Amino acid sequence: MLLAVDVGNTDTVFGLYESDDCVSVLRIRTLSTESPSNYESQIRLHFMETGLWMGDVSTVVLGSVVPDMTPILQKVLLSLFGEGTILVGPTIFPELNIAIDHPHEIGADLIANSVAAMNRYNRNCVIVDFGTALTFTTVSAQREILGVAILPGLKTAVKALFTNTAQLPEVPLELPQSAIGKNTVHAIQSGILLGYEGLVKSLLSRIKEELQGDCIAIATGGLSSIIETLQDEFVEIDPRLTLDGLRLIGERVSKA
């Protein structure tokens, strides 16, 4: 089995694969102040509850966008599964060319997303990842990451309003029926969710225009299905795209 670990700013997700089938997923809050032993105990408990055996894990691949968490998770994975954790970086997958100014700046999640997308479609595509940040990663049919657009994610935007304003509450991410909010909650939902709807459509349109219209869009991330009116913009919505990309990287590196 292969264990793919996606360390994000909000959550760390563990995906366990048998071949290309994801048989189990564990999500843990990302906290660099957490003791490694606590992460270790949660992973052990998950294996026990799912009836899986840790000794069956032959490959572990780690993608992290939280530098403080990387050594913590490496220590945990070493303790549980032994040597050989594959750490994702810009040179990890030779078939993917990162054609940006500073390749070392790109996140492991965006690399994994790109690998998964080009493996499935092998054509110009943009991957929209609805996470703590909202990212648009454009990959060419020639298997190049052409560039990225980044902005605050949906929850991040709501949290910014709640944290930095005296009278605005934190609200649930539910699509309102009207753009004209009749109360504070609906007003924020309209501004954030309908505003982001227009933002996503506009940015996708600009990217496709720059690629002469020859481009598809894929959505991923935990909030990828929140704005239902965006579904027609995507050929696929797969919240586990990042994990699948990590799996493909792990398989490629372990066979090299």
Give the pairing type, strands 236-237 and 216-220.
parallel
Residue 210 and residue 206: Cα distance in Å, rounded?
6
What does DSSP assign to residue 51?
T
- Look at strands 11-18 and 86-87 and give their pairing: unpaired
CA distance 2 to 77: 12
Task: List, as one string, the DSSP characters of 201-240.
Answer: HHHHHHHHHHTTT--EEEEESTTTTSSGGGGGG-SEE-TT
Distance (Å, whole) CA 51 – CA 49:
6
Set 11, 68, 109, 244: catalytic member: 109
Asked if residue 25 lies in contact with residue 53, where contact means CB atoms within 8 angstroms, the answer is no
Q: What angle do CA 209, 128, 159 make, to 5 degrees?
A: 120
* DSSP-derived pairing of the beta strands 216-220 and 125-130: parallel
Q: Which residues of 66-76 are buried (b: 16+ CB within 10 A; e: fewer)?
A: beebbebbbeb
56 is catalytic: no
Cα–Cα distance, 117 to 218 (Å, whole number): 8
CB 93 within 8 A of CB 143: no
Q: So which residues are the catalytic ones?
A: 109
